[in-house]
Amino acid sequence: MNILRTEHLKKTFPEATSGQDSCVLDDINISIEQGETYGIIGRSGAGKSTLVRCINFLERPTGGEVYFEGKAMSALPKAGLYKTRQSMGMIFQQFNLLEQRTALKNVRYPMEIAGWSKKDADARAEELLELVNMGDKKKSYPSQLSGGQRQRVAIARAIALNPKVLLCDEATSALDPETTKGVLDLLNEINRKYGITIVIITHEMSVIEYICDRVAILDDSRVVEEGPVLSILKNPQSETGKSFVKPEFRRIRG
């Protein structure tokens, strides 16, 4: 069963200068299976962030539809959309932690907005920080943590409400190779342990190779190739796919 599916997804932005709309996503049809780790790769400006932001409707698509657990996202009223986002965690390249909150209180945030009691929220937040190996840093502020540590806190926060899906937008792009590996291992563990479907957005083939089951290659607003990672690595069909498979695009190795 697919948990996420886009159908003829389209996104255009009005262009201030030319007056003509620029098309950032054009007829995107992808289907992500429950429990898999799905990669979306593309060069800078290909539309990856826009695509992932359309999936949880941070950005409203111009056309087409996104289905989450078979339900059309565009049909959701605002309150339903907010509720649905609690089932879709998201992490970012720049971590985006609340800078005036400690690690513990960052992780507590989703529970707070979901109306948990302080006691339950604190207990769950501590448990999550242990899970991501940050138990000893719960009183630290983001400014006192390294990039890898911040991303671990962000991951704990994103999975706090047991989401069905975790969206990762260039989650390791600001990290060095060793730290990247650690974060990817953690994502892998979360995927195995809790069955959370993971969507990985990246511009690095090595990340896809390391963790993903299937991948879609995005180029110039379109999906140019899609399939199991192993077969695309072995036999890429598109020009973009071929260029990504070249060794100089690899940064980390298992």
Ligand X SMILES: Nc1ncnc2c1ncn2[C@@H]1O[C@H](COP(=O)(O)OP(=O)(O)O)[C@@H](O)[C@H]1O
Tokens read off for 79: 């309150």
User: From the list ligand X, another protein, Mg ion, none, which binds 215 (C-beta under 5 to 8 Å, kind-based)?
Assistant: none
Could you say which of 2, 86, 173, 237 contacts another protein (CB under 8 A)? 86
Site string for Mg ion, 21-60 (x = CB under 5 A): ----------------------------x-----------
Interface size with another protein, residues (CB under 8 A): 38
Decide which of Mg ion, ligand X, another protein, none touches 46; Cβ closer than 5 to 8 Å per partner kind. ligand X
Residue 249 to residues 43, 85, 94, 238: CA-CA distances in angstroms? 11, 33, 22, 16
Cite the beta strand spans of the chain per DSSP E.
Answer: 2-14, 21-28, 31-33, 37-42, 63-68, 71-72, 88-92, 165-169, 197-202, 214-219, 222-228
Shortest Å, Cβ 44 to Mg ion: 7
CB 2 within 8 A of CB 69: no
| Residues shown for the chain | 254
Quick count: other Cβ atoms within 10 Å of Cβ 235? 11
Select the binding partner of residue 13 from ligand X, another protein, Mg ion, none (C-beta < 5 to 8 A, by kind).
ligand X
Residues forming the site for another protein (CB under 8 A): 56, 58, 79, 82-86, 88-90, 92, 94, 96-102, 105, 109-110, 112-114, 118, 139-144, 154, 157-158, 161, 167
